[in-house]
Structure 1
Amino acid sequence: MVHLVTWIVGSILILLSGVHLYWMAGGKKGTIAVVPSKGRKPLFRPTMAATGAVALSLAAAGWFALALGGAAGRLPLSESFYSYGGWALSAIFLIRAVGDFRWVGFFKKHKGTVFAKWDSALYSPLCVFLGVCLVIMTLH
Structure 2
Amino acid sequence: MTFVLAQWLVTTFAVISLVHVYWALGGQWAAVAAVPQIPVEGGGPKLRPAFKPRGWMTFLVAAALLVIALLVCLRVGWWLPAVHHSALQWVISAIALLMFARAIGDSNLVGFFKEVKGSRFARLDTWVYSPLCLVLGAGLLAVAWV
Query: Would the TM-score normalized by the shorter structure come out above 0.5?
Result: yes
Which one of the candidate residues 50, 56, 59 is aligned to 2:66? 59
Which residue does 1:114 correspond to in 2? 120
Which residue does 2:53 correspond to in 1? 46
Which one of the candidate residues 125, 134, 139 is aligned to 2:131? 125
Moved over 4 A (4+): none
Give the TM-score normalised by the residue count of structure 2: 0.90
- Code of the residue aligned with 1:89 in structure 2: it is I
Which one of the candidate residues 82, 96, 99 is aligned to 1:93? 99
Q: Secondary structure at the match of 2:106?
A: coil
User: Deviation at 1:74?
Assistant: 4.8
Q: 1:72 & 1:127 partners in 2: Cα distance?
A: 25
Tell me, which stretches of 5 or more residues in structure 2 are unaligned? 40-46
* Higher relative contact order structure (alpha carbons within 8 Å, sequence separation ≥ 6): 1
Give the TM-score normalised by the residue count of structure 1: 0.94
Q: 1:42-78: CA deviations, max 9, x gaps?
A: 1100001100100111111111122222223259x77
Which residue does 2:44 correspond to in 1? none
- Code of the residue aligned with 1:19 in structure 2: it is V
Q: 1:98 & 1:32 partners in 2: Cα distance?
A: 22
- Code of the residue aligned with 1:41 in structure 2: it is R
Change (3 A) 1:92 1:74: farther
Tell me, which stretches of 5 or more residues in structure 1 are unaligned? none
Identity, in percent, stands at 31
- Code of the residue aligned with 2:124 in structure 1: it is W
Q: Which of these two proteins has the greater Rg computed from alpha carbons?
A: 2
Which residue does 1:11 correspond to in 2? 11
Q: 2:29 & 2:81 partners in 1: Cα distance?
A: 35
Q: Secondary structure at the match of 2:78?
A: coil
- Code of the residue aligned with 1:8 in structure 2: it is W
Q: 1:98-127: CA deviations, max 9, x gaps?
A: 000111001111110111001001100000
Select between 62-71 and 6-15 the one with higher mean Cα deviation: 62-71
